[in-house]
Chain A
Amino acid sequence: MTKTYHAGFMSDKPNWGQALKLWRRDVLVFLTDVACLAGLWMLITYAAISPDRGVLVFLTVPWWLMLLVVAVLAGLWQSFGLSSGMKLLGRRLKATQDASGAAAFARRLFRALLLPFSPLLVLPVLVTARYVPIHDRWSGFETQSATEVVDPKSPWYRRSWAVAIALLALTAFAVSVIFTRVNLVKLFTEFDNTANIRAQIANPNWGVLFEGGQLLLVTLFMAFMATLFGIIVAVPLSFVAARNLTQGLVGRAVYTIVRGILSILRSIQPFIWVIVLIVWVKAGNAPMAGVIALFIHSVADLTKLYAERLESIDPGPVEAIRATGASQSQVIMYGIIPQIINPYMSFTIYRWDINVRMSTIVGMVGGGGIGQRLLQEMRVSDYSDAVVLMMLIMVAVWAMDTLSARLRERIETGSSNPALPSYALKLKTEISNRTFGSRW
């Protein structure tokens, strides 16, 4: 029987893709260490210079000088110890030639000096389509995958990554204490400043209850609209945002673009959207700005949740439905949707819950509803009105929270026997009976 291997299959023939991959593997280790050390350097510089001057100074030397020193340090770290880059990317150093004492030291030093030049090895890769790690070859070492290393116990300087990370964390903590001006003593010495607020909270103005209730309804409807439109857009969008359903060049491109846009949208909080949108739709339409802001965030968030659920579906039934000769739409209808319908409903209710809470915040920055009014009252220091509005919000959030938990629980348990309350629900009822009396 003749062997008909695919071209390039498991061969050591020159191969640009393969060589570049190997080069990238080694360079990434080096760059990770450079990044770690540079970060440490900058934090130490920052900690050394008092932030009270009001200027953020992360470097006292030119940046290229720092990079130069850091590159040399990274070389030393990788040649004499186990660097964080090596640890994170799973590489270990192994001597290919026997040497001890001064000779071994000289070898390691030589490798350390060569290592900063290793990114330049991309040039021979591009010319010859082979990757030769010259820094290793000349100094008598090779790097190997951490999984091949059998000796887990090594001296502390071979485990230096742990020391480095501890140092990094400690520096970061010290810097953040200075930077954020955390001073717990002030919590106690300055308490008297709140006397006015406390006095007003003790005398709530129940007159605003009715008006507040109307505003609360506006807020709740904002959340409802945002969720509803969110579902309509997010459900179809999730199918092109799921990695397992977007095969091929076009599919992968769509996936990357959609996911990219969504993560940008998600990283911008709704209250920032409101500030932009209120300019757009004019201040008179505040609730509409709030709805659109919540809608944008809901779409981004729901699509991600939905898509992740899609990515974890069982591929077996999908394969089986496809094997019957079903079309793509039938595969979705019969193989995919039954697997995702319940989690989708659960996520949607969860998102609705979030939107109710968030719509108050959105209102505060001009998105209308009860939140806007609450902020106005607090601006003019009318806390006896504000406390009533806050109570209304609390009741709404609590109700929504309980309702959402109940509904989701019912969906997730598969509702095979809906009459039987679950253990968690029973427990909750019991606790509230004990706390508030049985009328609850």
Chain B
Amino acid sequence: MEDLIRIENLVKIYERGEVLALNDVSTTVQKGEFLVLLGLSGSGKSTLLRCINRLIEPTAGTIVFDGKDVTKASSRQLRHLRRRMAMIFQQFNLVKRSSVLTNVLSGRLGYVNPAASAIHKFAKQDIADAMACLERVGIPEQAYKRADELSGGQQQRVGIARALMQQPDLLMADEPVSALDPATAHSIMQYLEQMNQEDDVTVVTSLHFLSLARRYGARILALKDGEIVFEGSPAEIDKVKFKEIYGEDAEEVEVR
């Protein structure tokens, strides 16, 4: 299989606090893969994800996305690359005062005419697509509500619909279910799985719970203090590996 992302010797240092967030991380993500990032809070998962679309500027190293060097891309090239990498977030990051439909449509911003979008004008096709995306995540009737009137699970579905609008090659999810209850968490994870299997979207997601990673992940990458401590299939994680990732005092908990 072909590589979609190639990361070489990635280093990120937050200068202000002199924190070494990523230390020489190298890995590849193949097309169509479902990769799960594991690790404690502060282990560098979020930083790694945000380096891929350069929401955070890496300190050193290279990231190649589909043959193009992200780290050297000009701002215009970067915007074109970002269109193909959708992202969903732990806190959903919807614009709370805007309508659900506007939030979904904003997934299309990279494609549309900037002048038209400045006056909130979208093509009929885009609006029809947005409704279709909302239908796919099962909340078409909420389209004209304000985003903050929705429940957490519904807000994350809007986040997914916004990602779908981008028609991405890659979906990055930063702890997508940490703010949700277990039942809702599974339904959200199933949407990711569906995108991965039916739309051939490569998924890279960070997760807190190992049980969720085992259930959905094809491959697992574990980080600790900014370094890769484990790379392999979920089945390979035994008690010893688990303690290595999460520390000696950790106990595994199940999320069903």
Contacts and interface: CB of A to CB of B under 8 A. Distances in A.
A3 B227 CA distance: 10
Given A1-B24, A4-B24, A330-B117, A323 B55 contact: yes
Contacts of A3: 23-24
B86 A4 contact: no
Contacts of B117: 330, 333-334
Contacts of B159: 320
A338 B110 contact: no
Interface string A312-335: 001011011111111101100111
B66 to A, nearest CB: 14
Looking at A314, A325, A330, A335, the one whose CB has the most chain B CB atoms below 10 A away is A325
A32 interface: no
A2 interface: yes
Interface stretch (A5-13, A175-183, A274-282, A422-430): A5-13
Interface string B1-43: 0000000010101000010100110000000000000000000
Interface stretch (B88-96, B128-136, B213-221): B88-96
A334 B53 contact: no
A317 B93 contact: yes
A323 B85 contact: yes
A324 B92 CA distance: 14
Interface residue tally on B, bucketed by range: 35 or more
Contact of A324 (B20, B110, B120): B110
Interface string B129-148: 00000000000000000100
A319 B87 CA distance: 10
A324 B18 contact: no
A320 B159 CA distance: 9
Contacts of B243: none
Given A1-B227, A6-B13, A325 B109 contact: yes
Nearest to B172: A323
A276 to B, nearest CB: 39
Interface in B34-60: 53, 55, 59-60
Contact of A5 (B20, B85, B95, B109): B20
Contact of A9 (B13, B91, B146): B13
B13 A324 contact: no
Nearest to A416: B146
A329 B195 CA distance: 30
B107 A338 contact: no
Given A325-B109, A325-B110, A327-B109, 13 more contacts: A4-B23, A4-B60, A5-B23, A316-B93, A319-B55, A319-B89, A321-B109, A323-B82, A325-B80, A325-B84, A326-B79, A334-B95, A339-B97
Interface of B: 9, 11, 13, 18, 20, 23-24, 53, 55, 59-60, 79-87, 89, 91-98, 102, 106-111, 114, 117-118, 120, 146, 159, 162, 166, 227
